Amino acid sequence: MTTTTPPADPSRAYQEFVKGIWKENPAFVQVLGMCPTLAVTNSAINALAMGSATMVVLMCSSLLISLIGRFVPNQVRISTYVVVIATLVTVVDFTLQALAPAVHKELGAFLALIVVNCLILGRAEAFAAKNPPGLAVLDALGMGIGFTFALSCLGMLREVLGNGSLFGFDLFGPSFEPWVVMVLPPGGFLVLGVILLLFSVFGTRKAS
């Protein structure tokens, strides 16, 4: 926060930023954007790349939508948001293709599918359009970090279990028999299922 913000603001800003990381984590708590959550988290590096790309798109779209929100008539707001998001995703897609072709090839069509990630349109509609740009970006940053964190957790878990490696480095040596199904599609469902289960177990324990 800059020192010019009014005294009441920093705590609000801090809250908007922090909530997405854990309490309202988009992937683990709200269970949004499942398609990329499961499809590209078969390795830690893919998960990190996908999370970061989503975060960039989310921040830019939140900023833009917060700026233009007032001028867009209610009836065409969703269409306008989608145009904004699709444009940003295409730009990110081109950039990644130019700078990191290997990562781009791994993510493939799933990168473009960020457009229909409910998380981005959801934040635009629920938060960015109604809040000033500063708060919108903070909210997006928090949500983005939370999403990237969740994806990385899944990616790391699945890579360690299913491939015996982390970020491509071999962890256990040749004697390790990898649990291959974990890097295959069913592993995505199972690992996320178990994580959500743990969340709900601890949630109930805390409540009681």
Partner 1 sequence: MSDLELPPEPGSLRLVATLTIAGLLAGLMLAGAYAITLPTIEANAAAALRDAVFQVVPGTRAMQKLVLAGDHFVLADGKEAKDAVAVYAAYGDGGAFLGFAIPGQGPGFQDTIKLLYGYDPARKVVVGLQILESRETPGLGDKIFKDPAFGREFTSLAVEPDIVVVKSGTGSAPHHVDGISGATISSKAVVRILVTQNQHLLARLPTGDAVPKAPAQGSR
Partner 2 sequence: MSDLVWIFISALVVNNFTLSYFLGLCPFFGVSGKLVTAFRLGIATTFVLLITSIATWTLNTFVLERFPYLRLLAFIVVIASAVQFVEMVIKKTSPALFAALGIFLPLITTNCAVLGLALFQTSRGYGFWQGIAFALGGGGGLTLALVLMASLREEARLSDVPAVVRGTAFNLLLAGILAMAFMGFAGLLST
List residues bridging with 170 in a β-sheet: 165
Identify what 5 binds: partner 2, partner 1, none; CB under 5 to 8 Å per kind.
none
Binder of residue 66, out of partner 2, partner 1, none (CB less than 5 to 8 A by kind): none
Q: Which stretch binds partner 1 (CB under 8 A): 9-17, 116-124, 130-138, 178-186?
A: 178-186
Query: Which of 101, 197, 192, 110 has the alpha carbon at shortest distance from 151?
Result: 192
- Partner that binds at residue 80, options partner 1, partner 2, none, CB closer than 5 to 8 Å by kind: partner 1
Among positive and negative, which fits the CA dihedral 151, 157, 158, 163?
A: positive
Give the CA angle between residues 57, 136, 21 to the nearest 5°: 75
Candidate list 1, 35, 67, 83; residue touching partner 1; CB under 8 A: 83
Report in angstroms how near the CB of residue 169 gets to partner 2 at its nearest.
Answer: 27
Residue 66 lies near partner 1 (rule: CB under 8 A): no
Q: Please provide residue 72's backbone torsions phi and psi, each rounded to the nearest 5 degrees.
A: -90, 125
Residue 33 is classified by DSSP as -
The alpha helices in 100-179, defined as continuous H runs, are: 101-107, 109-112, 118-126, 133-163
**35, 67, 91, 194: which one binds partner 1 (CB under 8 A):** 91
Asked if 151 contacts 51 with a C-beta cutoff of 8 angstroms, the reply is yes
Cα–Cα distance measured from residue 131 to residue 8, given in angstroms and rounded to the nearest whole number: 16
Dihedral over Cα of 51, 139, 192, 164: its sign: positive
Choose the one of partner 2, partner 1, none that binds residue 71, judging by a C-beta under 5 to 8 angstroms depending on kind: partner 1
Could you say which of 180, 194, 197, 201 contacts partner 1 (CB under 8 A)? 180
Q: CB 174 → partner 2: shortest distance, Å?
A: 25
The answer to whether residue 84 forms part of the interface with partner 1 (CB under 8 A) is yes
Under the binding rule (CB under 8 A), the answer on residue 99 touching partner 1 is yes
CB 120 within 8 A of CB 114: yes
Q: Which of partner 2, partner 1, none does residue 101 bind (CB under 5 to 8 Å by kind)? A: partner 1
Residue whose token pair is 């995703």: 89
Residue 173 near which of partner 1, partner 2, none (CB within 5-8 Å, type-dependent): none
The site for partner 1 (CB under 8 A) is made up of 71-76, 78-80, 83-84, 86-87, 90-91, 94-95, 97-99, 101, 162-163, 178, 180, 183-184
